[in-house]
Structure 1
């Protein structure tokens, strides 16, 4: 099991990928340098991913700035200590606020160890995260990729990845999540690097940085 900790791991993964699937060579040339964007695992990392769900980058960053306005680290205990209506002031939806509260309580009572997920297989870590109401596959996958560093995760439900893969391989229409997951199987055990590759390609082609972690 590979854990991505730096640029050298990204390069190792990319070199392995173009051997596994030669179709990726011209894509890698067009995409340019691949983003690392690792952040520390823990409550703040997962909270940032939750905040980023289904909103624009600008909206997510504005909400995140309000949550962190105190300047203190955003721990599970700190979030749990916010007053009951703080989520309205932050600009969070009720659903996201409830999800963050559930995550915070799980971390506090010890039923969820966000740092320890790097010691589990991606499948086991995914199951542990998605067992919490409000944490869906995309959120869990992005956390495991960009906070924990799991190298073999591919968020096949991500619309930008679907669009990028569909365009790169000349598909008549954007592949659905199950079809993209099947396509991505060939890129194991480096699917997280493959996802970075196609996000980078999408950014080059659209001139938009839509990577989930800023």
Structure 2
């Protein structure tokens, strides 16, 4: 089976020390946990398909579906996707809506109407706007792409339930307002993505 090339999100002492001094509560949790690794898929198309698969399903379900999809389709490229039907993609265990979205994305790229490489020249906000204009892709999917593919350093997603849950556990909050979230996000900046990696881990502990 052709497997997708992955690596870990690249960060080190500089980011860890900054966050520990900016937020002692997060810092204590980070010291207890040690370095937390987060998988990154460097290929833009593959990472975007992975993010679409991950919409509104658990990490465990994503793992199963993703393995099945690679078994069925091989390396996840636009060419491979368009050579199959939306039904083939759906049979990996995703909804027809997601399958159609992935098919539409592959066709748009194959027809030369979208060049994902251009995303590297855009700011985080512009990447989110550009990707959100595509069928079936919203801000959360774009933000996951910014972290799990492009390794942008300062992304904390309000739309990610696990990140919000991680914040609530970390700070002992019964609920979390958008205003509170924004305040924490600003404290983590410019290394919000590393804070996100720890918040995900905290939410599942």
The two structures have a TM-score, normalised by structure 1, of: 0.82
Structure 2: gaps of 5 or more residues: 1-6
Could you give the per-residue CA deviations for residues 91-111 of structure 1, whole angstroms, max 9, x where no partner exists? 220111121122212322333
Q: Give the structure 1 partner of residue 175 of structure 2.
A: 174
Matches within 5 A, 1:22-101: 22-70=24-72, 72-101=74-103
Instruction: Report the TM-score when normalising by structure 2.
Output: 0.85
Residues 177, 193 of structure 1: alpha-carbon distance in 2 compared, 3 angstrom cutoff: same
- CA RMSD after TM alignment: 2.3
Counterpart contact for 2:87–2:99, Cα < 8 Å: no
**Structure 2 CA distance for partners of 1:95 and 1:178, relative to 1, 3 Å:** farther
Displacement of 1:32 after TM fit? Answer: 2.2
Q: Distance in 1 between matches of 2:114 and 2:68?
A: 26
8 Å CA contact 1:141, 1:153 repeated in 2: yes
Ranked by relative contact order (alpha carbons within 8 Å, sequence separation 6 or more), the top structure is 1
1:154 to partner: Cα distance: 0.9
Question: What displacement does 1:127 show?
Answer: 1.0
Matches of 1:190 and 1:43, distance apart in 2: 25
Q: Distance in 2 between matches of 1:112 and 1:187?
A: 33
Distance in 2, matches of 1:24 and 1:202, equals: 13
Query: Structure 1 residues 166, 117: closer, same or farther in 2, change over 3 A?
Result: same
Stretches of structure 1 that go unaligned for 5 or more consecutive residues are 207-214
Say whether the 8 Å CA contact 1:184–1:191 is kept in structure 2. Answer: yes
